[in-house]
Structure 1
Amino acid sequence: MSLSAPSPPALRRPPATKVWVESPLQLLSAVEAHHAGLLGHGTEVVLRSGVEPLVATASEVERLGPHLGLAGLHVGSRVPLPSGTGTLVIGDAFSGTVQRRLLTFRAQRLIIADDGLATIHLLELLAAPDPRPLIRARAQPTMARQALGLAAATRMRALGRAGRLIVFTALPVPGELREAVTKHGVTIVGHDFPWLRSRPSGPPPPERQVVLGSSLVANGLVHRERYLEWVADLAAAEPIAYRPHRRELPADLAELRRNPRISVAEPGPPVEVCLRGLTREHRVISLPSTALTSLRLVLRGNGTTIQGVTVPAEWWTDQADAGLREHLSLFLDGLEPAR
């Protein structure tokens, strides 16, 4: 698939920009960065292969934005590197593949496109006085992986000192964290999905109550039975449209589909794209998720009620320590207890 636009004359061609994305949110963030003028013409986007929701999102971006000015959307398997004067855009700074490529990165700028709360975790690591390995939260890395993460952190901090590192995010970054990370030269650029909000929206679901699926069960952090009972209780009060998380297990979705009062959507583009048509008659309910933040931005002015609910203590498994529980809910205001 490709999105084309007239190329400027060769003498005025801006430095090349290469984008590597692995999730739908990363792709949307990269598109918004392009719309904001951070990337320029000739931007090529490479999608990680084997991620069907990512391909579906790319198709929707292609449908919604034929005049975006992107040179192309391609499915690939490697992290592309631009020329020595270009820009590289990545979403997952904790990927080993990405980190190995960063060690040979000599282009003009590095831009981090939003990847949910992982972006906040990255900022926390970059804000530390001394380099800390770029390792995912909850990961138990080998010594070799620790060394790679530390090398990547050192490289990224050097880019920051040179004024060549930008983090592009829709998440609210706390003032103290923003101040700490900017001391290391990192530039934080915020956005509220202006390109996506400008696109025509599709019809909303007939159900007034919309529940956003969660990956907490699939990640082993929340007991499956508690979660499924909660969704069933919501459906008992009023039929619901259920938007699955891309990591939810097929067996869990099959269980939900057996309930005639739950309409489970098929996998596709993320909720930021699919739910843009919600109205003031609709209510969105979700456990802690960055989708709550992004939907509040995308649906701004629609009058839609967006309700986040906290996870009751008895729902958590032993794998969810106190620090992780706090981190998952840290930036999600307006939460109410799940019942």
Structure 2
Amino acid sequence: MNGSSPGVEDGRDHAREQGSAVAWVESPLQMLCAVEAHHAGLLGTHARVIPRAGLRPLVVTRREITKLGPPAGLELAEPSPEMPRPRRGTTWAVGDAFSGKVQAAWLTALPGRIVIVDDGLATIRLLELLTGRFWTPLLRARATSGPLRKALGSAAGMRLRAAAHAGGLSIFTALPVPDDLARAVRERGAELVTHDFAWLRSQPMRRPGPRERTVVLGTSLVRNGLIHRDHYFGWLAGLGSTGPVAYFPHRREDPGDLARVGEQPGITVYDGGAPAEMTLRGLGAEQRVLSLPSTAVTSLRVLLSARGVVVETVDVPDEWWTAQAAPSLRTHLSMFAHHDTGVTG
């Protein structure tokens, strides 16, 4: 990815200055990217990664990373029900920049350096808001926020922009950031470091992937009310009728929906948990991955291109979308729509 090497070198310079860091992670992708950020040198000589308690996918991901052997100087702490309060002046890494608890901590605990790792499409929204006006609030897309929440989002936005101006903000991402947006982020003073999962790519394969030729990544778009269930399940049924399909659930999929997926002829639902980047990196050239627009598409292409595996983004027809799918959301998702495939599979 463009800018990867210079960013990593800058991160190593920071490591000599920082010493140590704490990372608070709430999703498998956040955990994996915190490990990659430490490997790249952004988190100092010692990093403590603390996963949020009560989330099975984080337990599975922590176990898989432990089996591989984390990078030197990285500690995978036991899950915690409470977000740690960063000590003043230390480096603090997070994924969810729109969390109210995280934003309050930026304002009250005053960490010395802030590192933000990937949290799916929300990372791109954060970059867009970061380059907005100084008082633009940091709020989730499609969220309905009251006056107090908007005030916190505005204060957090000003704090983050001030940190960027002072050279105290790094964003570590594997996502395809448009050139004009990347330029605007750097003009704000933030360090934008792109990566290609260097640590994960260097790890030996512990187990082969599924044997089915076609692998489908699950989606949160159904549960979030953005696409119609019947259209989605009709597409899956068509895929299953043409040959065996391995289905890897999205962590936010509804259990009832997953049960329905498993009832489709020809489709086997695999146990989810760890990120697709870890689970599917052993696929072979005779296999293909299909996915609705998703951040996993980008990272899997990086990890699987050398193995000859085609990772295809399904072009979502207009009639699939519900009224809740705003044009801005579709525009955001379109950045992952390269090497598209039709819904017929």
TM-score range, shorter chain: over 0.9
Q: Residues 67 and 319 of structure 1: is their aligned pair in 2 closer, same or farther, counting only changes over 3 Å? A: closer
Other structure's SS at 2:192 match = strand
2:168 matches 1:168: no
Q: How many angstroms does 1:338 deviate by?
A: 1.8
CA distances 1:147-171 after superposition (whole Å, capped 9, x unpaired) = 1100100100010010000000001
**Structure 2 portions without partners, runs of 5+:** 1-15
Equivalent AA in structure 2 for residue 64 of structure 1: L
Equivalent AA in structure 1 for residue 183 of structure 2: E
TM-score, length of structure 1 as denominator length: 0.93
Q: How many angstroms does 1:14 deviate by?
A: 5.9
Equivalent AA in structure 1 for residue 103 of structure 2: Q
Conserved 8 A contact 2:288-2:311: yes
Q: Which runs of 4+ in 1 moved over 4 A?
A: none
**Residue aligning to 2:306:** 301
Equivalent positions of 1:151-300 (< 5 A) are: 151-201=155-205, 202-300=207-305
Q: Residues 13 and 316 of structure 1: is their aligned pair in 2 closer, same or farther, counting only changes over 3 Å? A: closer
Conserved 8 A contact 1:280-1:302: yes
Take 2:340 and 2:109, find their aligned partners in 1: how far apart are those partners?
A: 41
Other structure's SS at 1:327 match = helix
CA distances 1:261-291 after superposition (whole Å, capped 9, x unpaired) = 1110112201100001001010000110011
2:36 matches 1:32: yes
Q: How many angstroms does 1:225 deviate by?
A: 0.7
Other structure's SS at 2:77 match = strand
Other structure's SS at 1:291 match = helix
Percent sequence identity over aligned pairs: 52
Other structure's SS at 1:301 match = helix
Q: How many angstroms does 1:199 deviate by?
A: 1.0
Q: How many angstroms does 1:244 deviate by?
A: 0.5
2:166 matches 1:137: no
Q: Residue 331 of structure 2: which of 315, 326, 335 is its match?
A: 326
TM-score, length of structure 2 as denominator length: 0.91
Conserved 8 A contact 1:21-1:27: yes
Q: Residues 81 and 332 of structure 1: is their aligned pair in 2 closer, same or farther, counting only changes over 3 Å? A: farther
CA distances 1:226-276 after superposition (whole Å, capped 9, x unpaired) = 101101101111110000101111111111212341110112201100001
Take 1:333 and 1:24, find their aligned partners in 2: how far apart are those partners?
A: 24
**Residue aligning to 2:11:** none
Conserved 8 A contact 1:58-1:73: no
